[in-house]
Structure 1
Amino acid sequence: MMEKKKLSRREMDKLRHRRQMLAAALDLFSLKGYHNVSMHEIAGKAEFAIGTLYKFFKNKEDLYKALIMEKADEYHRALSDVLSKENDTLAVIGDYIAAKAQIFANSVAALRLYFAETRGASFNIKAGLDQDIRKLYDEMVEQLVSTMKRGIDRKVLKEGDPYYMAVALEGLTNSFLFCWLEDPKHHSYEENVQMIKEMFLNGCLAK
């Protein structure tokens, strides 16, 4: 097995600076929307000179795409890890529902941006971003479909179209996430994980 190349001090500093810039952009985009944020604002919030920001990203669109793709990749990778386990189907479904709480638990800004992007609000980004995100999403849904299919084959879930089951679970979890985003004090997603699971299985569990 090849050893991971150790990064130089200069490379580590560049990675840290890039993370700081993306974190500042995430906060601003999630609060104000893509069109209402300037590169100067991002540089100021990240406490870098505007010229330094342009050394990392050629323009605002480039920065936004990097941010969205990084967050989308983290999100779908975490869910893919859960769905790739060959555990009991009901355990995988429960873990999948819970994983969404863990992904967004420490980042309301990421959740706000996720919904803005997926619902098409405020953003109009070119450069093939939609296709890239769609590819990640489709791969994750296919894994969820495979989970449903295994559950049907094992007689754990009732006979039905595994794709529609996957879409139903996605819609249900996202609805609860949206409620949590709108009013986190009264609609905790994490506290409702068991309810979400029961609501889904009430329609899909084999008798």
Structure 2
Amino acid sequence: MQDKKLTRREREKLRHRRQMLVAAIELFSEKGYHNVSMHEIAKRAEFAIGTLYKFFKNKEDLYKALIMEKAAEYHRTLIRALSREGDVLTILKNYISAKAGVFADDVATLRLYFAETQGASFNIKAGLDQDIRKLYDELVEQLASTLEKGIRKNVLRDLNPYYTAVALEGITNAFLFCWLEDPERHSYEANAPVIRDIFLKGVVAE
């Protein structure tokens, strides 16, 4: 639902919730999940602790909301890139570039997102890993479908589209990790042509 369709009170409530999530992700990134309290989050967001608990029943609930919102946003961005009209090679190039879009100005979220999706254990993930896995599986299937179209049109080599999709995910995620470790030295955006070159040279039909 877009903000313009909400009442003023609903928009204000949504804005407060976003402020709380921003404060939480800053603190989780700085100190780690276990070293942050709900009181610290409330203080950083400049809300009373009681107000924070009106939005989230506990820290686990807040964390799950934070990760799932970012995962869903990431998923929507990439599915949108794969759903655009155009030739397969252009779609793949746009997909590679789009992978940094959600996190372009938010390395803290990227760090938490990858910690969760790569299996880091916070002992709080009840149901969360399955939810993220479902989004990931949908994305890989959509990517595989795009690759399959390229194979049918003889643009791409006749390789297993699912495993080719997994391979592309592996390459792009490796470059995102480099970016995460040293954003200034390993810009994902600057390396996007390298990623395209590495991947497409292996899959483009002769």
TM norm structure 2: 0.95
Structure 1 counterpart of 2:204 = 205
User: Map of 1:1-207 to 2, 5 A cutoff?
Assistant: 6-207=5-206
Q: Which has the higher contact order (CA 8 A, sep 6+)?
A: 1
* Partners of 2:181 and 2:121 in 1: CA distance: 17
Give the ranges of 4+ consecutive aligned residues of structure 1 lying more than 3 Å apart after TM superposition: 3-6
RMSD (Å), alpha carbons: 1.6
TM norm structure 1: 0.94
* Partners of 2:57 and 2:88 in 1: CA distance: 46
Greater Cα offset, 30-39 or 197-206:
30-39
Task: Give the gaps of 5 or more residues in structure 2.
Answer: none
Maintained 8 Å contact 1:24/1:45: yes
* Aligned residue type for 1:171: G
* Partners of 2:9 and 2:200 in 1: CA distance: 52
CA shift, 1:186, in A, is 1.1
CA shift, 1:99, in A, is 0.3
CA shift, 1:4, in A, is 9.0
CA shift, 1:86, in A, is 3.3
* Partners of 1:88 and 1:72 in 2: CA distance: 27
SS of alignment partner, residue 101 of structure 1: coil
* Aligned residue type for 1:15: L
CA shift, 1:5, in A, is 7.5
Maintained 8 Å contact 1:75/1:103: yes
Identical columns (%): 71
Q: How many residues were matched structurally?
A: 205
Residues 7, 84 of structure 1: alpha-carbon distance in 2 compared, 3 angstrom cutoff: same
CA shift, 1:36, in A, is 1.8
Greater Cα offset, 34-43 or 76-85:
34-43
